[in-house]
């Protein structure tokens, strides 16, 4: 009985897993900040945020608040800048960067002498089967989210503030 169980266990471990595709790899870039303080009052900063997000579809925005405001975009589709599958063609390594969908959640909070803006990026990457066809999307954890998109949006907000500031 014990021998049959051991043989069955070894046979199960030897079978290849057919449900998983290639491993998702992540390019090793330095993490960028997803928060920034602006030396302007909340209404000025909020106008800059609205202007920076004007080309995106807005999913939700809170009512006008005196201390804190929040806005969230709808999902956008793009190509990942740092997540890929690696494969080989005739022995040479290749990378296929993955499709991604993401959305921003921007929070502006009034502080003494400034307004602090935090950008939270929600990201899902497309999983691929071994043959390269789509296997749906998978949510990435907050530690492996592409920080360059948040930093890029903060730069865009800063340019919008500076172009409208008194």
Count: domains in the chain:
1
The answer as to whether 147 is a domain residue is yes
Residue 6: predicted pLDDT: 44
Residue 130: predicted pLDDT: 77
Residue 61: predicted pLDDT: 87
Residue 112: predicted pLDDT: 92
What pLDDT tens digit does each residue of the chain (166 aa) get? 455 444 444 444 443 333 456 677 676 667 788 999 999 999 999 999 999 999 999 999 887 777 899 999 999 999 888 888 788 889 898 888 888 899 999 999 999 999 999 999 998 888 888 787 888 888 887 767 878 889 999 999 999 999 875 5
Residue 20: predicted pLDDT: 53
Q: Domain limits at 101?
A: 34-164
The answer as to whether 6 is a domain residue is no
The answer as to whether 25 is a domain residue is no
The answer as to whether 50 is a domain residue is yes
Residue 5: predicted pLDDT: 42
CATH number of the domain encompassing residue 108? 3.30.530.50
The answer as to whether 79 is a domain residue is yes
> What is the SS3 assignment for the chain?
CHHHHHHHHHHHHHCCCCCCCCCEEECCCCCCCCEEEECCCHHHHHHHHHHHCCCCCEEEECCCCCCEEEEEECCEEEEEEEEEEEEEECCEEEEEEEEEEEEEEEEEEEECCEEEEEEEEEEEEEEECCCCCEEEEEECCHHHCCHHHHHHHHHHHHHHHHHHCC
The answer as to whether 12 is a domain residue is no
The answer as to whether 20 is a domain residue is no
């Amino acid at each position: 009985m014990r021998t049959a169980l051991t043989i069955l266990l070894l046979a199960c471990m030897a079978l290849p897993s057919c449900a998983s595709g290639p491993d998702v790899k992540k390019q090793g870039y330095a993490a960028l900040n997803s928060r920034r303080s602006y030396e302007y009052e909340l209404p000025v900063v909020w106008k800059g945020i609205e202007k920076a997000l004007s080309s995106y579809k807005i999913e939700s925005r809170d009512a006008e608040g005196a201390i804190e405001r929040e806005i969230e975009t709808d999902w956008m589709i793009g190509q990942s800048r740092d997540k890929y599958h690696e494969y080989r063609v005739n022995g040479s390594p290749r990378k296929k960067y993955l499709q991604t969908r993401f959305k921003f959640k921007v929070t502006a909070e009034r502080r003494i002498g400034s307004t602090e803006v935090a950008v939270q990026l929600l990201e899902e990457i497309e999983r691929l089967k071994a043959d390269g066809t789509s296997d749906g999307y998978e949510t990435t954890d907050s530690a492996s989210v592409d920080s360059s998109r948040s930093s890029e949006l903060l730069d865009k907000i800063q340019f919008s503030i500076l172009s409208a500031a008194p």
